[in-house]
Amino acid sequence: MSDHDACLNIHYSAPDEIWDKIDEVYRSMEYYCKGENCLTWQGQDIELYSSVEPGGIQISGEMPDEIWDKWYPELKAKLTEALGYEIGEPQDGFEFKHWKPYIKKASDIKEINKDKIVFRDLSEFTWSLFENRERDITAKPPFFRFSSPLIELRIIFECTGLFAGKKQRQEFREFMCRLDDLGINTLDLT
């Protein structure tokens, strides 16, 4: 019998409909047995558990290597198909899908350069994460949206007071110019 411990790139913030798909995949896997406090797979010399951790879904326990070597790739393939993005171990470079957009205030930007943007809460986003960009100065509040299939960052411009609208537009344009100066092309933004 061999011990196994693997984390998969499925974020704990996934919505209920995603957990339903995961449960469906779990049920389809050989050796499935619903546990009292967590999902398990059991059989002769097999006792695997699944739990949701900050580092992803963790699959751990005992399973003979010859079974694990077929079972585990099958689990990842079924999860990939069900969830619509590639499932694997984060330490092997598989990215998490973030189910909720990150909404940050422009006034909370701590640092911005050609590679990344950092906010006062120390959250950091590299520009290479994003495939799509859009902006809307007429939205309430105005925003820049950077996204890819796995992540969305929305930077909003909130101002209060007598001249809030004018100040929002000014900060929006300054941010756009700052991105242009860094070579982060905003001309293709819709």
Following DSSP, what letter does each residue of the chain receive, concatenated? --EEEEEES--TT--HHHHHHHHHHHHHSTTEEE-SSSEEEEETTEEEEEEEETTEEEEEEE--HHHHHHHHHHHHHHHHHHHTS----GGGTPPPPPSS-EEEEGGGEEEE-SSEEEETT--EEEGGG-SEEEEESSSSS-EEEEE-SS-EEEEE----STTHHHHHHHHHHHHHHHHHHTT---TT--
Can you tell me the mean pLDDT for 69-75? Answer: 97
What is the pTM (predicted TM-score) of this model? Answer: 0.72
What pLDDT digit, counting tens, does each position of 46-58 carry? 999 999 988 899 9
What pLDDT digit, counting tens, does each position of 127-138 carry? 988 999 999 988
- pLDDT beyond 70 at 125: yes
Residue 37: predicted pLDDT: 62
